[in-house]
A and B are shown apart, each in its own frame.
Chain A
Amino acid sequence: MNESYDVLVVGIGGQGTILASNILGEACLTEGRLVKGAETHGMAQRGGSVESHIRIDGKFGPLIAPGDADIMVSFDLLEALRYKHYLKPGGKIIVNRHVVIPTSVFVQGAPVPDEEEILARLGDVSLCVLDAESLAIEAGSPLAQNVVMLGAASHFIPLSPDSLRTAVESLVPPKTVEINIKAFDLGREAGAECKG
């Protein structure tokens, strides 16, 4: 049986995980492949932790089991830590070097999680850390961080960069196509360093 390639995209409601999942899904269709996915909708999105499951070549259900994801794309360091157990042994994490501190931490006066400490706790898996915000700004808009992340992940995901670029073109707002393609290419360039 042909196993699916499982991608977990995690972040915070509003960061664009759903667009990222749509781009992967659309690229699968371009290549004539099956795909299944699951995502967070409704009130849970309001600034909360969100996850999108995408199963490339997926025939059955949309859910990735913990310990089974081939790759995780995380828009936030803390979220990478939260979902780390979904990664299969030998899996890879593409993570944005940025932490949005949960509001509850400030309100309760709890210890503020620190970037270096989180990176240390992620240290036992293969990491690809990038500064998606600067790359997105370089591309023309901080809103394109999700596409930067996909660009970096494109070295590892079994979809051709061209299908992914085509999907970006068809799914982002028409006025932002150029910015997003640039964001994808800058992310891909940054991700090249993680290949080893």
Chain B
Amino acid sequence: MRKQYLLGNEAIAHGCLESPVDFVSGYPGTPSSEVIDILRMREMKDYYVEWSVNEKVALENALAAAWCGLRALCTMKHVGLNVAADPLMTSAYTGVTGGLVIMSADDPFAHSSQNEQDSRCYASFARIPCLDPSGIQEAHDMVKDAFALSEEFGLPVIFRPTTRICHSKGDVELGTIVATTRVGKFHKDPRQYVVIPAHTRILHKKLNEKQAAIKKRLVESGYNYYRIRGSTAVVASGIAAMYVQEILPTDVSFMKIGAYPIDEEWLAEFVQQHETILVIEELAPVVEEAVRQVAGCVAVYGKKDGHAPYEGELSPMSVARIMESCGFNTAKTFPEANPLPDIPARPPIMCAGCTHRPVFYTMKKVFKDGIYPSDIGCYTLGLQLGAVDTTICMGASITVGSGIYHSGEKADIAATIGDSTFLHTGIPGLLNAVYNGANMTLIILDNRITAMTGHQPNPATGVTASGEQTVPVSLEAICRACGVSFVDTVDSYDLVGLTTAMKDAKSRPGVKVIIARQPCVITARRAGIRRGRYQVNSEICTSCGLCVKFGCPAIEMGGDTPIVSELCSGCGVCAQICPSGAIAKEGRR
């Protein structure tokens, strides 16, 4: 087959089809989301695919499929693995019969994440294998092998690409897609699947006994290899192995690690043939710790002696700097090249016509001097509007809000959370806040979609991952069932409605919920909704600047008076803000 120029996630999805995969579940999260998006959008699907409500739910579903003998893929971003950690840790004990591959995509430099945790640590914590690709072709080949290795070991396998694999592109040689006809069959075996203490003690011992064979087998897999070329060596893993190879002189030995756990005997054999070893890897010093354990008198450089950073992502230039600092030559030098000063920043912003902006605008007016716990989604960009005071993890807007209230803080608390995040892990926090008597207002920013990660459907959308109609969940009914007595639903573009609802909520005791509903402006546009553009009548405009301060990217200053650009989606919120009535729909006065 001719090579293709593919995104890492496209190559990974194709690898799964070649395996072939039978069952796919996951929760969207950058940089992992495109894998399921590609699998769910295919017309011919002989596999099951779902967007689950959260990663724990996704992993438990996939685990059950693997217990039934199927090849199951479960995708998430690195922090999603925290949510799925509960089933993860014990799934290593129960093991699997079909192949279970957990793709946990790491994000060094936190391009689109709240932290820089390293999924390889979860693999060693759970004592399961981890495959860590260094390029797109390898990611494709590895994910395909991961299913077979999982079946061979009877264990889940963590597949850990990083942002620079998932969202990079390259020439990839693909294999043939294989049809699957497997049907799951559950064979009862309580000693395996019921982890009561008497069973689990035995299962834990079995897991530990598997380790030595796994290490030997992973050496044979070919994902870990070395070339001896001199008395000094660089050991590298993941994408950093590519950066190293780009600049490595021909007289320096090289070892690449792509599969864990690392066989200590094999590693020691290499390390002991050198005088100096430099370990280059992103995030946690996983390889470095293994090297140091077998190093004896061999000098080891890396993070632990301050030569390499624990945080951020590496690049060819930063790898060259690390090598130079340890006295290594490089085959290529990089001159200092710094950005010019005083260039206005262009951070990501909420879209023109974003449904969140008017809600934040009103919230800041009604709950002036309030505290604004928020959550994970596009609306975290409300930080730029001063409408986000806290963000920690999915669902934590509600729990942080109730915690602040119970701490004795007297300020009003107005928390914001998106529909998908609320359904992911927000519900228990709401139930808890009501049950324990918190006093706060929760605003659910309901745009009917999981927008930030690329517009995946969720239970509020009323459509499944494969595009079939399903019952849209009622957020109102969920809130009421949690014990909330004040639940009000308003149009996110209606400033009067928003103001009335928020004032009403503010005047009442207990936990109040306002559902601000309007489809995401991007999905609305894709669905063909055209509202018509607005314009500023310069004869009426007093140049007060209120519409400009609203921060919509469609409103620019054109000399003294603002103008509405072609970005306008026609939401009409600026017309409601304008105190002189100078903004109106084109063609109307």
The residues of A with any CB-CB pair to B shorter than 8 Å are 1, 12-13, 21-22, 25-26, 28-29, 34-49, 58-63, 65-68, 78-79, 81-86, 101-107, 110, 112-113, 121
Q: Which of A25, A60, A103 contacts B242 (CB 8 A)?
A: A60
**Contact across chains for B169 and A37 when beta carbons are under 8 A apart:** yes
B 228-244 contacts with A by CB, 8 A: 239, 242-243
A42→B170 contact, CB < 8 A: no
Choose, from B264-272, B495-503, B546-554, the stretch at the interface: B546-554
Q: Is the CB of A41 within 8 A of B239?
A: no
Question: Are A60's CB and B169's CB within 8 A?
Answer: no
Please report the C-alpha to C-alpha distance between residue A67 and residue B338 in the assembled complex, in whole angstroms.
9
Q: Point out the residue from B31, B331, B552 that lies within 8 Å of A42, measured CB to CB.
A: B31
**A residues within 8 A CB of B334?**
65-68
Known: A42-B111, A43-B381, A78-B346. A35 touches B246 (CB 8 A): no
Q: Are A37 and B168 in contact (CB under 8 A)?
A: yes
- What are 12 inter-chain pairs, A to B, with CB distance below 8 A? A22-B5, A35-B171, A36-B168, A38-B164, A47-B553, A61-B239, A61-B246, A62-B170, A67-B335, A78-B343, A82-B339, A105-B344
Total cross-chain contacts (CB, 8 A): 163
Q: Do A103 and B349 contact each other (CB < 8 Å), given the known contacts A39-B169, A78-B343?
A: yes
Complex interface: chain A residues within 8 A of B170 (CB):
35-37, 58, 62
Whether the pair A110, B551 counts as a contact (CB closer than 8 A) is no
Known: A35-B170, A38-B168, A63-B164. A82 touches B556 (CB 8 A): no
Q: Is B246 a contact partner of A104 (Cβ separation < 8 A)?
A: no
Q: Is the CB of A60 within 8 A of B246?
A: yes
Contact yes or no, B349 A46, CB < 8 A: yes
Query: Chain B residues near A49 (CB, 8 Å)?
Result: 345-347
**Alpha-carbon distance between A48 and B136 when the two chains are bound, in angstroms:** 26
With A37-B169, A62-B164, A106-B548 in contact, is A48–B347 under 8 Å at CB? yes
B236-259 CB contact bits vs A (8 Å, 1 = yes)?
000100110110000000000000
User: Nearest-CB distance from A41 to chain B (Å)?
Assistant: 5
B4 within 8 A of A: yes
From B315, which residue of chain A is reached at the shortest CB distance?
A63
Please tell me if the beta carbons of A47 and B348 are within 8 angstroms of each other in the complex: yes
Interface assignment of B316: CB less than 8 Å from any CB of chain A: yes
Q: Are B246 and A121 in contact (CB under 8 A)?
A: no
Q: Are B5 and A26 in contact (CB under 8 A)?
A: yes
User: Bound state CA distance, A83 and B440, in angstroms?
Assistant: 45
Give B250 Cβ to nearest chain A Cβ, in Å: 10
Give complex CA distance A112, B246 in Å.
41
The answer to whether A42 and B243 touch (CB under 8 A), given A37-B170, A78-B344, is: no
B526 within 8 A of A: no
> Does chain A have a CB within 8 A of B103?
no
Beta-carbon contact of B346 and A62 below 8 Å: no
Decide yes or no: A63 and B347 within 8 Å by CB, A42-B111, A43-B112, A121-B340 being known contacts. no
A95 to chain B, nearest CB (A): 14
Knowing A22-B5, A47-B351, A107-B549, say if A102 contacts B344 (CB, 8 Å): yes
* B482 neighbours in A (Cβ, 8 Å): none
B344 touching A62, Cβ below 8 Å: no
Q: Kindly supply a per-residue 1/0 record for chain B positions 94-130, scoring 1 wherever the CB is within 8 Å of any chain A CB and 0 otherwise.
A: 0000000000000000011000000000000000000
Distance in Å: Cβ of A91 to nearest Cβ of chain B: 11
- Of B245, B316, B338, most buried by chain A (CB within 10 Å of CB) is B316
Q: Is B557 an interface residue (CB 8 A)?
A: yes
Q: Which residue of A lies closest to B170 (CB)?
A: A36
Within the complex, which residue of B30, B317, B347 is in contact with A41, where a contact is CB–CB below 8 Å? B30
B452 part of interface (Cβ distance < 8 Å): yes
* B residues 407-440 touching A (CB-CB < 8 Å): none
